Every structure is written in structure tokens, then in C-alpha cells.
Structure 1
Amino acid sequence: MEQTQLLGEDNNSSRRMQGKRLLAEYDNCKLELSKELVLLFKTFESALGKTSEELLKFKVQFRSRTLEASIMQSYFAEYLQNNFANKAFYGKYKRLVLRTNGYLILFKKLNGKGYPMNIKTINVQSILNQNQALDLFANSDYNDEPILYFGYQKNRFNEYVNPQLIYIDENEIKFSISAEDMDSGLYVGKVDDKPIGVSPKLKNSNKLKKAN
């Protein structure tokens, strides 16, 4: 046990010298974020339900291209605030962030390969490489904490599926955690499985505080 801790300390010391954040590991992450992940999956379900209700107010032919995504993001932000209070905030560039238990969690729709759907800016590449220096946060206290993504995909029927937490380093997905991995009894559908979502069918939250 002590030897494992020493190896972990040496590894993280080496990462700091490379300008990288602390290493996130599957088992530790799953344990340290067990309660938070159950809440995140419930937050996703709640936001999805409200999005479905809200979209019914708009005829399909009159919906703007970004309407569904805007509603989903706004409701997700609102429920995230309800469930996590001041641990949830908006960082720079209006990025929704959850800071909890030594982790920073960002939120993004995922592509078919499970990667966040981002424009490849320098800042995004820094996140995917777990670089310490980021334009996203002004607070230097944020430099060591591993960055995770909580995201979801859409299947061929345009349904929301596969909510999961993912960890990316060196532009490679190192691990992902789904609801089924949590042994919580909470069921969340997968692609080609019965989804919890609906066909496109998060209300703006001004309560979220901005990062310093």
C-alpha cells in the first residue's frame, strides 16, 4: 500500500514537471465521485425530461437549429445548480463547470467515438492534454485538479443516450464511467439499448456563479 502511494506521488511529481495535472485513475475516480455521479445521472434525466416538455411548445417546422441544444443545456445548468449548489459555476467562455472532491468536470455532447464535440482551439487541446495552464480559469488553485467530461451521445433515432463520465489525457480517452458501472441500481440506456431519452421533443439559470 505504502509502495503504491509512493509510486503515485512520483508519477504526479513527474506530471507537474511536465506542466500536467494530477493523474485521474478509474478506481479512485469511481470511488471518490460515487455520490456525485449518481446525482449527475439524475441531473441528466431531469434535464432531459424538462427539455422534452419544453420542445412540445414549438412546432417542429419552426424550431431553430440550436433550440434543442440550448434548452437542454439551460435545464442541465439549472438542475446542476439545484443538486450541487455553489460547486457548480460558469467558467470563462460560459463553460459550465462542476468542481468537487478534487476534480473539475466539464459538460459536452459526445461524438460517435465518445470524444467531446469541440472546435479544436488551443484551449481545448490543453484540456485534452491535462495541461496545468488554462485560459479557462483565472484561479491558480485549479491547476492541479484533473479535468473530466460528463457527456452524452445521440443515437441514429436522434435520442439522447450513453450519459457517462470520461477522462482524456494526451488526446486519448483513458476511461469512462457509466451509470451501470456505479452499481447504484440506476439504469441509463446505451446506444442500441432502450434509451432514457426521447426524440428531440438546460430555462436559463442566472444563479450559477462565475469563476474568479
Structure 2
Amino acid sequence: MFSKIKIVHIDKTKSTQDAVIEYLQNDYFSSLLLVAKIQTSGRGRKDDDWFSPEGGFWATLGISTSLLLSEAQLALFHYFTATLLTGVISEEYDLSVQIKWPNDLIYENKKLAGILIDYITGTQKKYILIGMGVNLNNSHNEMPENIRPIAISIKDILHKSVSLDDFAQKICFYAHRYFSPITEYNLKNIQLLINEYNQHSQIYGK
């Protein structure tokens, strides 16, 4: 399913989850990571608003496929996206983060990242949309007052900025590791990744 993932950076969009579809439908790329500096109408689970100012990592990994995925496979994409982000953050930046079901990454009881999975069918091609919002260089002091006490960024933790380009590259590198077993029906690797998810889960990792 995975060809080389193309990274496209744009300045501003309402939502990368919506904008990436145009690239996929026009057959520009079969696998694309669309990264926006700013989202004006970013959304999370249940269409909740997602504050997306400059400095954060606001992106959607869009995958065009002819495969009809089962509900079980889609569930694995949800699990493994959380594990992918945890892998990037913990292995590359040496930070201990936990996964809070269903879609949050937590650092010391504060929200660091969120995910959103959409699956679009009804056409000859299907589209898997893996939305990721990570508080990267947007300090919690710049966030709305109502979320400051419950949110944190990687910059807040490390006391330095993180390269957005490097972070995007790492996401693509890890995507092959975490998503290929799902489409290849590699049950052994799927179980290994489920075990990794459980290690980082707030519920199972205790």
C-alpha cells in the first residue's frame, strides 16, 4: 500500500483532514503527508475544535488505496497512529508519553497530541486520512486560557524548539514501520505493535 510518502508544506488551511483529499483525488500522490503552519478550523474527535496556531505540527497522512479495509483493520490504524506518535516522541526526543484512549497523547497528565482517523469509501479508490495534531513549538502560554492548565508542548518540556521539517520526516519514516503490518496481514508484527501500544497505554501500561 505504501509508496514513498511525499511531504507537502502549506501555510494555511481550514483543516488538513479536508485539504489532503484534493491531492489524493487528483492522483498527485498515493501517499502524502500534508503539513500546515496554521489550521483555521482544525477539528478533533466528534468535530471538536482543535486550536492550531503557528508552531504546532498540524498534519494529515493521506493514503489512497483500492483495498477495502475491515473494521478491525481501521481500528488498528487508530491504535498504531497513537503508537507511531509515541514512538517518534519517546525514541527521538527521549520523552515518556502515555496514550489515553481513544485519541490523546499525554505527558505528565497534560495533553501533548491528538489523532483523528477518517476512512472515505464510495469511489473506485478509498482514502485513509490519518490526522495528527502535536503541540510542538506552540508554548502553552500562548494557548487559550481554558486549555492552558491541561495542555503542554514539546518546546515547553525540552525548553527549546524542535525542527518541524525533521519531525515530519520522522513521521514518514515511522509510518512504514507501524502501518505496513496492517495491510500486509503480518499477524506477528501486528501483535508486537499491539504489545507496544499496551506498554504506553494509561490503562494497560500501569
Confirm or deny a common fold (TM above 0.5). no
Larger Rg: 1
Larger fraction in strand: 2
Higher relative contact order (CA 8 A, sep 6+): 1
TM-score (norm 2): 0.31
